Amino acid sequence: MKNILILLVLICSIYSFGQTPIDTLDTPEGKMIIYSNRTWRYLDDKIFNGIMNQHVYSIFEQDTMYRFSQRWDNNVCYTSDHKNDMSKIKDTVWLCVMDDAHKDFHIPVPGAVTSRYGYRSGRYHNGIDLGLNIGDTVRAAWSGKIRYAKWNDGGFGNLVIIRHHNGLETFYAHLSKHLVAPDQEVKAGEPIGLGGNTGRSFGPHLHFEVRFYDAPMNPEEVIDFAEKEVKDENLMVHRGIFRPGAKPSDAGEESGEVIAAVQRKPETAGARKYYKVRSGDTLSEIASRHNTTVSKLCSLNGMSPKTTLQVGKQLRVK
């Protein structure tokens, strides 16, 4: 017994990153080591293959046509190495965002949207930014399991990634502090971190992403940030929602607008102008007709010059 305790202490010292282990706790997932800084880690974690939604797994990972992958890895941000090709999705797949077993949702932070998903400053902004103050509590959107919780060198700063039972993963970036550890189970609304300004950030905010098999989608496809609720319990997954700069398929005219990360003076309603796309229209023709440029249209609508225009879609032209 004494040798086992010594081994436990040694292992705790390795995993605690300088923190002192103060207690152990037996859980259904295995023995948990609790540290003095209120973080913890599983010592003898049960083998977990990363599958949170067997239905989604059976469609995408077991079908040789897709060849999608999504490992369970606590050390890398993207577990597919960006090899999942969403253009291979030929049909629409129904995904249940919330069901009877996992019916709760919580807005990560209550702050206003300061920058939306889309094309911004010469690159794609793969999430949505929400205003907060440093130290504000950031909460899990849905229940799930923490896949990643550490510093990220790719610009996210302190980052938490949660894999959910609905088949999605959510990213919470630029945190000042983590409140969770890898492999921890969390429920919707539970604190997972504190708001910050770490990584490639130019002011305190939460960068929030919704991803499916590592591919980013517009969070507004799923969440109404004004009402702070899920738009629909059902999400129709198809290749169109993964196109760069995609706007919510069922949102209003202004939903795709890319707002600068730095707060700016609001425009008056009369300063905006919209155009409904007609059959045969091209971006260059629309730009010429409204005395603007293709680049400006793309910036206003969160799209790229290669985006396919949809007949009847409203484009902001001013």
| Alpha-carbon torsion (123, 305, 126, 107), positive or negative | positive
pLDDT digits (tens, 9 = 90+) for 250-295: 433 322 222 222 223 334 444 567 777 777 788 888 887 888 888 7
- The pLDDT of residue 43 is 57
| Average pLDDT of the chain to the nearest whole number | 80
The C-alpha atoms of residue 233 and residue 269 are separated, in whole angstroms, by 32
- The pLDDT of residue 250 is 44
Q: Which CATH homologous superfamily contains domain 269-316?
A: LysM domain (3.10.350.10)
Domain boundaries, the chain: 2-42, 49-264, 269-316
* CA distances for 11 relative to 6, 8, 17, 18, angstroms: 9, 5, 11, 12
What's the average model confidence in pLDDT over 242-247?
70
- The pLDDT of residue 287 is 81
Q: Are 40 and 12 in contact (CB under 8 A)?
A: no
What's the average model confidence in pLDDT over 109-128?
89
- The pLDDT of residue 225 is 95
* CA distances for 39 relative to 88, 196, 269, 292, 315, angstroms: 41, 19, 48, 54, 48
Instruction: Give me the phi and psi of 298, to 5 degrees please.
Output: -65, -40
Q: How confident is the model at residue 2 (pLDDT cuts 50, 70, 90)?
A: very low
- The pLDDT of residue 41 is 63
- The pLDDT of residue 196 is 96
- The pLDDT of residue 42 is 62
The C-alpha atoms of residue 304 and residue 176 are separated, in whole angstroms, by 33
CATH 2.70.70.10 for the 49-264 domain, yes or no: yes
pLDDT digits (tens, 9 = 90+) for 19-33: 455 666 766 656 666
- The pLDDT of residue 36 is 60
- The pLDDT of residue 272 is 66
Q: How confident is the model at residue 300 (pLDDT cuts 50, 70, 90)?
A: confident
- The pLDDT of residue 257 is 28
Following CA atoms 240, 243, 246, 251 in sequence, which dihedral angle do they give, to the nearest 10 degrees? 10
Highest mean pLDDT among 107-121, 135-149, 248-262: 135-149
Top-confidence residue, 144 or 256: 144
Percent of the chain whose predicted confidence (pLDDT) is above 70: 76
Give me the amino acid identity at 243.
R
Q: Which two tokens stand for residue 5?
A: 């305790």
Rounded to two decimals, the pTM is: 0.67
- The pLDDT of residue 211 is 96
Highest mean pLDDT among 80-89, 116-125, 207-216, 236-245: 207-216
Q: How confident is the model at residue 4 (pLDDT cuts 50, 70, 90)?
A: very low
Highest mean pLDDT among 44-53, 190-199, 264-273: 190-199
